Structure 1
Amino acid sequence: MSDLPFPDLTAKIGQRLVLSDWHDVTQAHINAFADATGDHQWIHIDVDRAKAESPFGAPIAHGFYTLSLLPYLMGDFFGAYKVAQGINYGCDSVRFPAPVPVGSRVRGSFVLKATAAGPMGSLKCTVTSTVEIEGGQKPACVADQVFLLFP
């Protein structure tokens, strides 16, 4: 028997934990992200120029905007396991295989990859997080996120 916290969660290794609802990616969201980060590259915020000059024919979301959606798309899943506190520990890898045109809809799929004892009595979880684009051939983002979960 394992001494790891959250044995019910650890039993789900290899399983999808969450498939989120669809989320609309709007120009207002992209503009707000640009303002928050200072990344005002035209391919994200200049609609007319992006339509005329971009290979995508429209503005696209920042890759890091897509990555930043992961906590929102995952929702309060860990709350079901009575996690008192969850902390982002980092990402083992992050890739952006496909751009997200403004006006797209995306959703998140989250698969528990691994668990291990973490510091200070936590459970260290690695979750493969995939942001899908509705109707897309490739995902917008694939990240192996690492969390520390505290009972």
Structure 2
Amino acid sequence: MGAKGKLVVGQEFFPSKGDIFHQLLKNNPHAFSTSSPQIIQGCVVHEGEFGKPGSVIFWNYTHDGKERVAKEVIEAVDDEKKLISLRVIGGDILDEYKEFLLTFHVEESNDGKELATWTFEYETLNDDVGPPFSLIQLAFAMIVDVEKAQP
């Protein structure tokens, strides 16, 4: 029997960089292969279109030194909240997790900075599988790469 969990991790962003990351994730996720080529090798639409709920996208990425794939359906997009939710429906992540939902969200603070937040909701396939800490690190590495790539 597996365990259910939720990881919520935030990182401060320079002003407007959160919006840039949100727009990339929503409309142009294949551009991550340029800003984070060591992590993302490609992203294509299988059904629908980028940024539209119900659309299915397919990722090629590297995790823990291995080439991996993920198939996700876009569950929610909210431009005002700079939020996008992606549910994993296929690929290597499901070798360890029964359910996996990723949500990216940007909050603006009173001091003009932004907080980029990743929320990972998951259910493991069995008790031998732990929380997806290394996937959180991978997600934040992409944020750092986008910050470095954008002027």
Q: For the superposition of Structure 1 and Structure 2, which TM-score range results when normalised by the shorter chain?
A: under 0.3
Structure ID, larger Rg = 1
Which has the larger strand fraction? Answer: 2
User: What is the TM-score of this pair, normalised by structure 1?
Assistant: 0.25
